[in-house]
């Protein structure tokens, strides 16, 4: 899902240095991910397209795809209610925070409508470990984690694994870093 290779390079560098406690090195290419997350064969891109958000209206605090969808069209409620990543459908959509959110059912749409902050992914759906290192990387909705009833998404399984090695420390960094990068475009953080 990540379309910007330079983001991958920066994250790989950050990952390698974070595991060693060093500052990120420059100029190294990351190794490609060999495996998909469990359930990754289900793609929200197969769902009916929702209206796209115009480039001028595209939010910076919510990670939206090229169709203007939050979570790449996955249902943000399903993670907590059903315990799984589920693609949404265009017939169950809702505009909130500059993005179109899709839901697997009318019931999940109703829950989100009542309390969007409760179900929306933390950090706007950007990769949570990216926020740890002060960056905004695309979050893959099939690579996720719920902690204290909050939904976190990650770039891939390797990144999620690194995050979970020091979950408490990394969540502390997220709470410090997100307010400082929330209103910046990803390219402003390079």
**How many domains does the chain contain in total?**
1
Q: Output the pLDDT for position 163.
A: 98
User: Residue 10, class by beta-carbon neighbours within 10 Å (0-12 exposed, 13-18 middle, 19+ buried)?
Assistant: buried
Q: Determine the pLDDT at residue 74.
A: 98
C-beta contacts of 85-88 below 8 A and 24+ residues apart: 85/39, 85/42, 85/141, 85/142, 85/144, 86/42, 87/42, 87/43, 87/44, 87/46, 87/47, 88/44, 88/47
Task: Find the helix packing angle between 5-20 and 157-165, rounded to 10°.
Answer: 30
Domain that residue 145 falls in: 57-189
In a structure prediction context, what are the per-residue pLDDT tens digits for the chain, which is 190 residues long? Answer: 444 444 444 554 455 444 444 434 434 443 333 333 444 444 444 544 445 444 446 788 999 999 999 999 999 999 999 999 999 999 999 999 999 999 999 999 999 999 999 999 999 999 999 999 999 999 999 999 999 999 999 999 999 999 999 999 999 999 999 999 999 999 999 7
- Asked whether residue 111 is assigned to any structural domain, the reply reads yes
pLDDT at 144: 98
Q: What is the pLDDT of residue 59?
A: 83
Identify the burial level of 100 via C-beta atoms within 10 angstroms of its C-beta, where 0-12 means exposed, 13-18 middle and 19 or more buried: buried
Structural domain contains residue 28: no
Three-state DSSP string of 140-166 = EEEEEEEECCEEEEECCHHHHHHHHHC
Q: Is residue 42 assigned to a domain?
A: no
| Structure confidence at residue 190 (pLDDT) | 78
How much is the pLDDT for 14?
52
């Amino acid at each position: 899902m990540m379309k910007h290779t330079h983001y991958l390079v920066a994250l790989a560098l950050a990952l390698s240095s974070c595991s060693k406690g060093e500052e990120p090195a420059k100029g190294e290419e990351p190794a490609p991910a060999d495996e998909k997350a469990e359930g990754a064969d289900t793609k929200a891109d197969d769902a009916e397209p929702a209206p796209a958000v115009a480039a001028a209206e595209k939010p910076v605090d919510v990670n939206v795809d090229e169709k203007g969808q939050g979570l790449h069209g996955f249902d943000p409620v399903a993670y907590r209610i059903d315990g799984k990543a589920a693609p949404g459908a265009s017939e169950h959509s809702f505009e909130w925070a500059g993005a179109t959110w899709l839901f697997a059912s009318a019931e999940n749409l109703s829950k989100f409508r009542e309390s969007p902050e409760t179900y929306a992914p933390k950090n706007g759906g950007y990769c949570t470990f990216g926020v740890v290192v002060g960056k905004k990387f695309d979050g893959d909705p099939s690579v996720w984690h719920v902690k204290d009833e909050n939904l976190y998404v990650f770039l891939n399984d390797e990144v999620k694994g690194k995050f979970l090695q020091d979950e408490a420390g990394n969540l502390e960094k997220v709470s410090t870093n997100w307010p400082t990068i929330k209103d910046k475009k990803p390219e402003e953080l390079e």
